[in-house]
């Protein structure tokens, strides 16, 4: 069922798969609130990956300046490099807030919910299986 394993092993599109894996690793490190070792990153990643693959990704990203690391035991623990462009986040947010018309070209993951939607969503998520999936709105 999982395409992930075969995709990462990546015979036809190795570069693309490496890019995807890089994103996953970066996401794990940003989601963590402390530095992570390669083994800890591996544990957080879904799918079965080789330890060496993760290690390679980490050190490549470190070389590119995206990660900072410190010694921990016999290896390193990694955190994302933060201060590269501190204003990017704020600028993005104000740009998007000011001109909602820009939604024309960027697909947001989720829109905000109305109060009723919030409750409906809670119900849907807490009771999977016994919900009424076929119900029309």
Neighbour tally for 60: CB within 10 Å: 14
Whether 48 contacts 3, CB under 8 Å: no
Rg (CA), the chain: 20
**Which is nearer to other proteins, 9 or 31 (by Cβ)?**
31
User: Contact, 36 vs 45, CB < 8 A?
Assistant: no
| Distance in Å, CB of 55 to other proteins, minimum | 17
Q: Which of 4, 10, 35, 62 binds other proteins (CB under 8 A)?
A: 4
Tell me which of 6, 13, 23, 94 binds other proteins, using CB under 8 A: 23
Does position 12 interact with other proteins (CB under 8 A)? The reply is no
SS3 117: helix
Site mask for other proteins (CB under 8 A), range 99-118, x = bound: --xx-xxxxxxxxxxxxxxx
Question: Cβ(47)–Cβ(8) under 8 Å?
Answer: yes
CA distance 118 to 108: 18
Contacts with other proteins by CB under 8 A lie at: 1-4, 19-20, 22-24, 26-28, 30-31, 33, 44-46, 61, 64, 66, 80, 82, 84-86, 88-90, 92-93, 95-96, 101-102, 104-118, 120-122, 124-125, 128, 131, 133-135, 137
């Amino acid at each position: 069922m999982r395409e992930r394993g075969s995709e990462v092993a990546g015979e036809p599109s190795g570069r693309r798969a490496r890019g995807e894996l890089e994103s996953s690793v970066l996401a794990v490190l940003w989601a963590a609130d402390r530095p992570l070792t390669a083994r800890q990153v591996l544990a957080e990643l879904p799918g079965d990956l080789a330890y060496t693959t993760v290690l390679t990704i980490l050190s490549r990203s470190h070389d590119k300046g995206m990660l900072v690391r410190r010694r921990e035991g016999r290896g390193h623990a990694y955190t994302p490099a933060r201060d590269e462009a501190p204003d990017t986040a704020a600028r993005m947010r104000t740009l998007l807030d000011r001109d909602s018309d820009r939604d024309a070209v960027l697909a947001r993951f989720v829109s905000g919910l109305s109060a009723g939607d919030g409750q409906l969503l809670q119900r849907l998520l807490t009771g999977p299986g016994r919900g009424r999936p076929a119900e029309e709105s």
